[in-house]
Amino acid sequence: MKPNKHIRIGMVGYRLMGRAHSHAYRDFPFYFDTDTLPVLQAVTGRDEGRVQTAAHKMGWASYETDWRRLIERDDIDLIDIVTPNDTHAEIAIAAAEAGKHVFCEKPLALSLDQAKRMLEAVDKAGVTHMICHNYRFSPAVQWAKKLIEEGRLGKIYHIRATFLQDWLMDPHFPLIWRLQKGVSGGGTLGDLGAHIIDLARFLVGEFREVAGMMETFIKKRPLGSMTDHLKGRIESDQWGEVTVDDATAFLARFENGALGTFESSRFSKGNRAGNRFEINGEKGSLRWDMENLNNLQVYLADDEPGLQGFRTINCTEEEHPYAGSYWPAGHILGYEHTFINLVSELMKGISLGTSPRPNFEDGVKNQAVLESVEESVNTRSWVGISDRRSLNRQ
């Protein structure tokens, strides 16, 4: 296929997710046959020296120091938002109003109300929109979806999902933006919980009600900021209050009758990126672990007696979604490929004038779960999701 369309990207932010997205745009045309080429047109950051260095290192053609200027430029087709969560709504709405397609990091917003306004803005503008729940795009997770849709597991009874980390356990780790509610909107629930909620919505279905608990183990920390690779730098001898959760656990019922347990924590020693799920159905079970992301464990009850057991499928065969675009079977993929696969859908969506899943509607539904878990923690009760989730779209 000969590329005949160019999507000129303007990215706001350039650190952890900025690197992941930049890499995905660069590598996507290398592996995928496409008529739509992403162009790394301009990156934005507030510090001129740093953004210039980032632009050079990651291959961006130009840079800006104010995202508003980026949106004014008529040589930008897509705005990619990889900044802290308090900036998502303002940037996304302004981008949509300027007629740009929008790709936004998760969680979509600080609140459900903001998320709904973002969805309204992209709907009104008729632009393509997606949210970056990249784990859906691991070939093994896609294969899990296919097996469930084919009925290989039968009726789904359970999902048990965790996203566990341990990089914040040092009490002297600084009070970075992720620990300030006004900037992040939430702690592990919004950061890690949002991903496992998305996986559950993708694989099991819509949530009906939730009941949760939360804890902040370290209540005060020295002031400072994030550096690279989830590390922090203390910048003051002053200490400030941590206003988000360090850990959240919640129970859920799904509209289809399944039960779920969910746990997100940054205080789970030894777990670096413990994004895992197990799904049990009447005819089988599935297990996946991001730290071993090529493999899907599958148990099928119709296997011969005596040979039943979990088998490990290395999802690198041509049959497995996206895997055939890369290497021969058994030549494994990594974290970065989930972003490349997502970008392949984003480019297809822009080319066809659609908004592939997960898009801002998924972002709103995810935010409805996040907000309901918080309400349930505050009221110590079960909270229903359906009213919050309802949308009035044209």
Ligand X SMILES: NC(=O)c1ccc[n+]([C@@H]2O[C@H](COP(=O)([O-])OP(=O)(O)OC[C@H]3O[C@@H](n4cnc5c(N)ncnc54)[C@H](O)[C@@H]3O)[C@@H](O)[C@H]2O)c1
Which residues are at the interface with ligand X (CB under 6 A)?
A: 12-18, 44-46, 67, 82-85, 87, 105-106, 132, 134, 191, 226
Cβ-based nearer residue to ligand X, 136 or 320 = 136
According to DSSP, residue 356 is labeled P
Q: Minimum Å distance from CB 254 to ligand X?
A: 23
* Contact between 156 and 147 (Cβ < 8 Å): no
Cβ-based nearer residue to ligand X, 43 or 211 = 43
- Angle made by CA atoms 363, 366, 370, in degrees to the nearest 5: 130
User: Residue 342: which of 98, 34, 133 has the closest Cα?
Assistant: 133
Q: Minimum Å distance from CB 178 to ligand X?
A: 8
Cα(341)–Cα(358) distance, rounded to whole angstroms? 13
* Cross-strand partners of 161: 262, 277
Q: Minimum Å distance from CB 153 to ligand X?
A: 26
Q: Minimum Å distance from CB 163 to ligand X?
A: 10
Q: Which residues contact 130 (CB under 8 A, 6 or more apart)?
A: 102, 103, 104, 342, 345, 346, 349, 355, 356, 358, 359, 360
Output phi, psi for 193, to 5 deg: -60, -35
Q: Minimum Å distance from CB 315 to ligand X?
A: 19
Amino acid present at 168? L
Residue with tokens 């949760």: 212
Q: Minimum Å distance from CB 148 to ligand X?
A: 23
Q: Minimum Å distance from CB 15 to ligand X?
A: 3
Cα(328)–Cα(352) distance, rounded to whole angstroms? 30
Q: Minimum Å distance from CB 51 to ligand X?
A: 8
Cβ-based nearer residue to ligand X, 18 or 284 = 18
Cβ-based nearer residue to ligand X, 153 or 168 = 168
Cβ-based nearer residue to ligand X, 17 or 315 = 17
155 vs 151, 258, 303, CA distance in Å?
8, 8, 18
Cβ-based nearer residue to ligand X, 82 or 315 = 82
Q: Minimum Å distance from CB 99 to ligand X?
A: 21
Handedness of CA 91, 93, 98, 101 (dihedral sign): positive
Cα(363)–Cα(180) distance, rounded to whole angstroms? 21
Cβ-based nearer residue to ligand X, 325 or 338 = 338
Q: Please report the beta strands in 231-306, taking only residues with DSSP state E, as ranges in sequence order.
A: 232-241, 247-254, 259-265, 274-281, 284-289, 295-300
197-231 b/e (C-beta count within 10 Å ≥ 16 → b): bbbbbbbbbebbbbbbebebebeebbebebeeebe
Cβ-based nearer residue to ligand X, 15 or 152 = 15
